[in-house]
């Protein structure tokens, strides 16, 4: 496409030939302007509406190369072609099925493009693309519905289109499109981006998905890869710290488990045979607790006195129930854990 002459390219892509020039379309637009002026003059050349009309710019063309739907419709009348608005009452009355038609003209704001059937296949002939884009029969209705949802005006072209070489050729063969055409200027923009220094995230994306010429990543995939690269950077920065935390946690768990197992022979009797009952007196528990302390006469310089008290100290006499004995064993194991943690803290 050259400039903003999308209407000219839309018509020529539809007819598959250089049938219209900007000068010819401008002549049609000027003729429409003159007809509208004459209709306004019927109400009086001195009326306020007529003077306002003369001061307003043309609605059929502008300096950028835009042409209105009236210009396109009048241009197609020369070829005996008619435009019907998609999903209009007339469209519904005629019972039009898009798959059985030959071509459509689409417009959004000031851009026109053609969708046409050549041979037995549909093509998007948007002049902003580097080439025609193949549209499957099953995707055609969805494609048109998507355009309409995005705000496009769609017109069905009714009538016999002139013969063209592309239509004759594609009646005999079918096209297989391996890569979708790019937008005009997209390659230049990519080349410009390649000359710019790339960030670490962009380099990580290229490592994961090197460009092999088969196609470009869509926007969702590209955003996903960028987020993935960022998360990997954060994980690499935190790996060393996380490993250290896990090692400390595992070592503390191992120490606690060892201390708890070591405390069990001191607090829980190993033999099921007792002289009286299943419960032990507080004096016997104290003797079992003091026995390993007497074996090791070397004091630990790093040990600190415990501030917690146990049921053994509050109840020096009498028998203990099984629940009291279990509570005493748990308190004693907790004391050994506290002593170990205090020792590790001093170290």
Indicate which residues carry an active-site annotation: 6, 111, 126
Find, among 135, 113, 136, the residue nearest to 125 by Cα: 113
CA 12 to CA 19: how far, in whole Å?
A: 6
Q: Answer for the pair 11, 78: CB distance below 8 angstroms, yes or no.
A: no
Q: Answer for the pair 104, 154: CB distance below 8 angstroms, yes or no.
A: yes
CA 274 to CA 319: how far, in whole Å?
A: 14
What are the tokens at 134?
């193949």
Q: Answer for the pair 91, 143: CB distance below 8 angstroms, yes or no.
A: no
What are the tokens at 324?
């009291």
Find, among 158, 115, 159, 167, the residue nearest to 10 by Cα: 115
Q: Answer for the pair 179, 214: CB distance below 8 angstroms, yes or no.
A: yes
Beta bridge partners of 154: 106
Q: Answer for the pair 201, 160: CB distance below 8 angstroms, yes or no.
A: no
Q: Which residues have CB under 8 Å from 280's CB, separation 6+?
A: 269, 274, 319, 320, 325
Find, among 95, 94, 114, the residue nearest to 104 by Cα: 114
Residue 255: other Cβ atoms inside 10 A: 15
């Amino acid at each position: 496409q050259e400039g903003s002459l999308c209407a000219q390219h839309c018509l020529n892509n539809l007819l598959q030939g250089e049938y219209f020039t900007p000068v010819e379309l401008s002549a049609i637009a000027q003729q429409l302007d003159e007809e509208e002026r004459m209709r306004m003059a019927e109400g009086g050349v001195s009326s306020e509406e007529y003077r306002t009309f003369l001061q307003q710019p043309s609605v059929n063309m502008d300096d950028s190369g835009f042409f209105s739907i009236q210009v396109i419709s009048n241009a197609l009348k020369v070829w005996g072609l008619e435009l019907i608005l998609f999903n209009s009452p007339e469209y519904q009355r005629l019972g039009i099925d898009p798959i059985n038609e030959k071509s459509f003209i689409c417009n959004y704001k000031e851009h026109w493009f053609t969708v046409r059937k050549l041979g037995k296949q549909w093509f998007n002939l948007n002049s902003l693309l580097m080439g025609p884009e193949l549209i499957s029969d099953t995707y055609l209705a969805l494609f048109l519905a998507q355009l309409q949802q995005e705000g496009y005006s769609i017109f069905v072209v009714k009538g016999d289109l002139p013969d063209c070489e592309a239509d004759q050729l594609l009646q005999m063969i079918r096209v297989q499109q391996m890569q979708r055409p790019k937008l005009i200027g997209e390659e230049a923009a990519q080349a410009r981006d390649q000359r710019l220094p790339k960030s670490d995230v962009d380099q990580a994306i290229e490592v994961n998905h090197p460009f092999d010429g088969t196609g470009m990543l869509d926007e969702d995939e590209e955003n996903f890869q960028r987020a993935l690269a960022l998360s990997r950077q954060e994980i690499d920065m935190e790996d060393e710290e996380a490993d250290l935390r896990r090692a400390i946690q595992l070592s503390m768990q191992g120490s606690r488990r060892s201390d708890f197992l070591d405390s069990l022979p001191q607090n829980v009797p190993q033999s099921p045979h007792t002289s009286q009952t299943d419960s032990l007196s507080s004096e016997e528990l104290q003797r079992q607790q003091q026995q390993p302390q007497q074996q090791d006469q070397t004091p630990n310089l790093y040990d600190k006195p415990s501030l917690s008290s146990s049921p053994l100290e509050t109840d020096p006499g009498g028998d203990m129930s099984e629940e009291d004995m279990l509570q005493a064993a748990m308190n004693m194991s907790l004391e050994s854990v506290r002593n170990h943690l205090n020792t590790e803290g001093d170290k």
